[in-house]
A and B are shown apart, each in its own frame.
Chain A
Amino acid sequence: MTTMEIIPASPAGIEKVAADMKADGRRLVVITCTAAANDYDITYSFAKGNDLLHYRMTVPEGTSIPAIDASFGGAFVYENEIHDLYGFTFTNMALDFGGTFIRTSVPYPFKKKEAPAPTVTKVSKEDAS
């Protein structure tokens, strides 16, 4: 199994992580949201030259996350995208589109769906005859 080095983070500490990364001369490369087993993984990737560093928070659906726009002004595109596709709320975004950055026909299309109800109705043998 291939693994990457990932440093754990939390919503409460992410602003400090971002400030530290900026102080270290790193740039924000991407914020990636992916559905994990029960929760969601939100991974912040920072680069210095060709060296990538990843910080990850694993959070349940609907968690409110502080924006890191104070350190990296360009973070608003990823934060708005994650909000529009997954439904997470980011507080204090530099530019908050309020859900209109990516206009999708279905709200939060990448949010985990509940298991669909069965479409086949079982008929008892007596009724079938």
Chain B
Amino acid sequence: MTGKRTVVPFGPQHPVLPEPIHLDLVIEDEHVVEAIPSIGYVHRGLESLVDRREYSDFVYLAERICGICSFTHSSTFCQGVEGLMGIEVPARATYLRTMWGEYSRLHSHLLWLGLFADALGFESLFYNAWKIRESILNELEATTGGRVIQGVCKVGGVRRDVTNEFLSGMDKRLDDIEAEMQEMSKVFLSDYTLKKRLVGKGVLKTDAAYNLGAVGPVARASGLVEDVRTSGYLAYGDISFKPVTADGCDGYARCEVRCKELFQSVDIIHQIIAGMPEGDVSVPVKGNPDGEFFSRSEQPRGEVIHYLRGNGTKNLTQFRVRTPTLTNVPSLVAMLAGAELADVPQIVLTIDPCIGCMER
């Protein structure tokens, strides 16, 4: 080590970053000594609109917090209002929400896998991941009317039902999608070059992950069983599943967790379709929210929290969102310390940063 330090700016615009985050990388002999993040390039102040929009209309704004996590934002917000108002959502609606939540996870993970492959120079792998993602988006479009922004959640249930015949068709089509994902995952998990670029890179030990509050695939790839779905919200209490974990604590482990979660989501959707209850998909909602509530969900990127406070009027008085990317930033800083400068882009990508979500 020469002891000579240089600060290299990374971002906010960078070829591997779909959204803007800036890191000041303190470099010594091509190694990162420290990474200092700064955010705020796309801060929209969406939370402050809650006192100017009725709680029922705010669902549309909540799902625009982020394009990729849109469905989970809307369902988490609705779940929060329903918690405040003591609304019992019909079982079929909770099953449909769970199904769409898992389809969202599939499309988010496939999007990330594609972007990741592209960043590492694997063009055809990128196309393949996004081709499979198209099939998922087609299912979302056919059942909700929207490919990315679904607009299907509402306080008290969901806006659309899906016929049992269509659900059977989805069930069968998932088998084909699963076969395609199997082929794709083999490349991600066994390719020599990908392993060379990922194994031992961006290490986040189990203790560090816990102490820094890591969530989602980042935490699970460090061996932590952190998954809000185990709390049994929506229909997860009726579903048999075990959180996917890995003990590599590196970039490869994070890729492995996301690949395996694809198949877990398919399995959950199969169970949801098999156990879909009959009945209504929404209940009439009367009154206004009063009190405060922490609504938690497991987004594709990890635990999301919507904090809501109402005062008995049609407008909530406070709304705060804590997204998985924000809580994974300290983990990213820890992963980058000691990394080689050339590995920084893929290490940043392994946390699957979603800046729009993070900044609201």
Residues of B within 8 A of A49 (CB): 230
Q: List A contacts of B331 (CB < 8 A).
A: 74
Whether B213 contacts A34 by the Cβ 8 Å rule is: no
Which residues in B have their C-beta under 8 angstroms from that of A34?
Answer: 307, 309, 318, 320
Nearest CB on A from B155, distance (A): 14
Cβ of B263: which chain A residues have Cβ within 8 Å of it?
A: none
Q: How far is the CA of A45 from the CA of B320 in the complex (A)?
A: 13
B38 adjacent to chain A (CB < 8 Å): yes
Closest 3 CB pairs of A and B: A74-B330, A2-B291, A102-B40
B326 beta carbon closer than 8 Å to chain A: yes
How far does the Cβ of A52 sit from chain B's closest Cβ, in whole Å?
6
CB neighbours of A50 from chain B (8 A): 228, 230-231
Q: Are B230 and A3 in contact (CB under 8 A)?
A: no
Which residue of A3, A30, A77, A109 contacts B305 across the interface (Cβ within 8 Å)?
Answer: A30
Q: Which of B74-121 contact A (CB under 8 A)?
A: 83-86
Confirm or deny: B327 has a beta carbon within 8 angstroms of a beta carbon on chain A: yes
Chain B residues within an 8 Å CB radius of A95: 36, 333
Residues of B near A101 (CB, < 8 A) are: 38-40
What are 12 contact pairs spanning A and B, CB under 8 A? A1-B312, A2-B290, A27-B210, A29-B303, A49-B230, A50-B231, A74-B329, A77-B330, A78-B322, A84-B40, A95-B333, A103-B41
Q: Are the C-beta atoms of A74 and B327 separated by less than 8 Å?
A: yes
Say yes or no: A29-B43 contact (C-beta < 8 A), given A50-B231, A74-B211. no
Q: A34-B307, A77-B326 are in contact. Are A104 and B40 (CB under 8 A)?
A: yes
Q: B38–A103 contact, CB under 8 A?
A: yes
- Judging by beta carbons under 8 Å apart, are B293 and A2 in contact? yes
Smallest Cβ distance from B207 to chain A, in angstroms? 11
Chain A proximity of B118: nearest CB distance (Å): 28
Instruction: Kindly state whether residue A28 has any CB partner on chain B within 8 Å.
Output: yes
- Shortest B336–chain A CB gap in Å is 13
Q: Is the CB of B40 within 8 A of A30?
A: no
Say whether A2 contacts B292, CB under 8 Å: yes
User: Does B45 have its Cβ within 8 Å of any Cβ on chain A?
Assistant: yes
Chain A contact residues: helix, strand, loop or mixed: mixed
Are B327 and A35 touching (Cβ within 8 A)?
no
In the bound complex, residues from chain B placing their C-beta under 8 Å from that of A28 are: 213
Q: For B330, list chain A residues within 8 Å (CB).
A: 73-74, 76-77
> Given the complex, which residues of B lie within 8 Å of A90, measured CB to CB?
none
Binary contact readout A89-112 vs B (1 if CB under 8 angstroms, 0 otherwise): 000000101001111100001100
Collect the chain A residues with CB atoms within 8 Å of residue B322's CB: 29-30, 32, 78
Closest residue of chain A to B293 (Cβ to Cβ) is A2
With the chains together, A97 CA to B292 CA distance in Å?
31
Do the beta carbons of A2 and B84 come within 8 Å of each other? yes
Mask of A22-33 contacts with B, CB within 8 angstroms, 1/0: 100001111011
Question: Complex: how many Å from CA A102 to CA B43?
Answer: 8
Report yes or no: B320 in contact with A1, Cβ–Cβ below 8 A. Answer: no
Contact residues in A for B45 (Cβ distance below 8 Å): 104, 109-110
Q: Tell me whether A27 and B211 are in contact (CB under 8 A).
A: yes
Q: Quick check: A4 and B213 within 8 Å, CB to CB?
A: no
Asked if A73 contacts B307 (CB within 8 A), the reply is no
The answer to whether A55 has its CB under 8 Å from any CB of chain B is no
Which parts of A7-34 form the interface with B (CB within 8 Å)?
22, 27-30, 32-34
Q: How far is the CB of A102 from chain B (nearest CB, A)?
A: 4
Contact with A100, one of B38, B291, B293, B296 (Cβ below 8 angstroms): B38
Interface string of B302-327 (1 = CB under 8 A from A): 01010101001000001010100011
CB distance from B208 to the nearest CB of A (A): 8
B10 at the A/B interface (Cβ < 8 Å)?
Answer: no
Minimum Cβ distance to chain B for residue A38 (Å): 14
Interface residue B48 (Cβ < 8 Å from any Cβ of A):
yes
B329 touches A102 (CB 8 A): no
User: In whole angstroms, what is the CA distance A2 to B86 when docked?
Assistant: 8
Cα–Cα distance between A41 and B91 once the two chains are bound (Å)? 35
Say yes or no: A102 contacts B48, CB within 8 Å: no
Instruction: List 4 additional A-B contacts (Cβ < 8 Å) besides A2-B83, A30-B322.
Output: A50-B230, A73-B330, A77-B329, A103-B38
State A77–B334 Cα separation when bound (angstroms).
Answer: 13
